[in-house]
Amino acid sequence: MTAKHVTVPCRLCTNTLLPSTARKTGNLCLSCFHRERGRLEDEARESRPGCAGCDGSTESSAFWFDWQLAKQGKYRFRKYPKYLRPVRRVKGGDRYVCTECGAPWYLPGAPQPQHMMLIPPACVAQFEAWCEREITCTTSVLEAARAIGATPPSYDDHADDVRIPCKVTTRKGEQIELAVLRFSRLPPIPWMDERPQHLPHFRLADEIASVEPSRFALSRQVRSAFIADRRGAIDRDWLSVDVVSRTGRRYRLNGSPLFFDRDGVPGEALRPAFRSGGLAVPAKPHGPETVFAADWFGGAKLLNFSRDPVTGFLSWLRWRLGGNLSGNKP
Ligand SMILES: [Zn+2]
Ligand SMILES: [Zn+2]
C-alpha cells in the first residue's frame, strides 16, 4: 500500500480522512469538525451572561432569533429570554431591553413571526423616530412606485413586505441611485447578519420628494424571473436567474437582488436569458443600497407585480377610487 492510500478514521463517525486533515482537525472529519466547533461555541455563549449584543455573538450587530423556540428552551438561543425584559409597546410590537448591557430589542407582534431583533447602536435614533410617527408617502411617490413595480420578499414568512428598487430624490435634494422604497411592518434595521460592508443603510420614506426608475435597477422582467424560480423550487432557498446584457454578456444572478452594477453594465441593460450559462456573480452584485422604510398599509400589496395583473389592476383601481391613499393606514 502506498502512503497516499493511508487513511485515519474520524473519532466521532464512520468516515475516514487523510492524515493531513486529521492533524488539523484532531482526528475529525470535516463535517464532525464543524459540528463540534458549533457545539463548543454554543456552550461558550451559554456560559456568558447577556444578550447577543454583549456576549460576542454578532460582528455586524445585526441579529435575530426565534423568540418562541428560545422561550421553550429547545433552541441554541435559549439563554436569551432570561436577559431580555419588556419595556413598552411600540409601533407594531414591543420594545425589550437587555438587563446586562441595556441594548434595545424589538419583538414584532402578529401577524409577523416572533423574531426578536437586536437594534444595533447605529440604528437606535432611527428606530425611535420610526416608532414615534406614521411613515407614509405622497400619492405621486406611490404612483411612481407602482409603475416601477414592487418585488415581494425572498422568504414567504415576511408576507407583508414589498420592495421597489428606484432612484430617490429627497426633500433636501439628494439624489440616490441605489434606493429601495420598502413597505413593511418591520422596523428600519438590518435583518441579516451580513458582512458590515453589505448592510443596507436605512432612512425613513417621508424624507422622499420623488421617485423615478434607476438605471441600476433590475427590470420587472428579471425580478419576475426570480419569483418564477422560487415557485419552481420550493425546497431550494437559493434563487438564480440567467441574464444577458445588450452586448451579449451573460451572468447568473444568485439570491434575489434588486440592482446590478458590474463591468460597466447597469441593471437596466439585463434581460432574462433563454439559455443558461454565464459568469456567476455574488448575491449582491452592487454597492450597498439605501432602504427608505415606509409603514405597511392596505394598498402596499397592490404595488406588487407578482399578483395576477388583471385582478391586481382592478383592486388597485378600486383602492384608488376609495380614496384610501390620503389615509395610508396600515
Ligand atoms: Zn466524522
Ligand atoms: Zn446585552
Q: Nearest ligand, CA of residue 30?
A: 1
Model pLDDT, residue 56: 82
Radius of gyration of the chain (CA): 23
Model pLDDT, residue 217: 95
Q: In terms of Cα–Cα distance, which of 232, 242, 227 is closest to 274?
A: 242
Q: How many Å is the maximal CA-CA distance in the chain?
A: 83
Q: Nearest ligand, CA of residue 10?
A: 1
Q: How far is the CA of 55 from the centre of ligand 2 (A)?
A: 7
Model pLDDT, residue 231: 55
CA angle 263, 149, 167 (to 5 degrees): 50
Helix, strand or coil for residue 21? helix
For the chain (330 residues), the mean pLDDT of every run of 10, in chain order, is 71 90 91 91 88 81 88 88 96 95 93 88 90 93 89 60 92 96 89 58 94 93 73 56 90 85 92 79 76 88 60 54 41
- Alpha carbons 116 and 114: distance in angstroms, whole number: 6
Report how far Cα 273 is from the mean position of its chain's Cα atoms. Answer: 26
Q: In terms of Cα–Cα distance, which of 319, 289, 296, 291 is closest to 135?
A: 296
Dihedral of alpha carbons 182, 103, 65, 254, sign: positive
Q: How far is the CA of 61 from the centre of ligand 1 (A)?
A: 33
Which residues are CB-contacts of 185 (< 8 A; sequence separation ≥ 6)? 92, 108, 111, 112, 160, 161, 295, 296, 330
Model pLDDT, residue 140: 92
Q: How far is the CA of 97 from the centre of ligand 2 (A)?
A: 8
CA angle 123, 257, 215 (to 5 degrees): 95
Model pLDDT, residue 273: 85
Q: What are the residues whose beta carbon lies below 5 Å from ligand 1 (ion)?
A: 10, 12-13, 15, 29, 32
Model pLDDT, residue 104: 94
- Alpha carbons 240 and 216: distance in angstroms, whole number: 18
Q: How far is the CA of 9 from the centre of ligand 1 (A)?
A: 8
Reported as half-sphere exposure (CB side, CA atoms, 13 A), residue 148 has a value of 29
Q: How far is the CA of 101 from the centre of ligand 2 (A)?
A: 4
Q: How far is the CA of 103 from the centre of ligand 2 (A)?
A: 5
Q: How far is the CA of 83 from the centre of ligand 2 (A)?
A: 7
- Alpha carbons 64 and 107: distance in angstroms, whole number: 10
Q: Nearest ligand, CA of residue 36?
A: 1
Model pLDDT, residue 6: 83
Model pLDDT, residue 283: 64
Model pLDDT, residue 67: 95
Q: In terms of Cα–Cα distance, which of 292, 227, 290, 301 is closest to 259?
A: 290
Model pLDDT, residue 326: 36
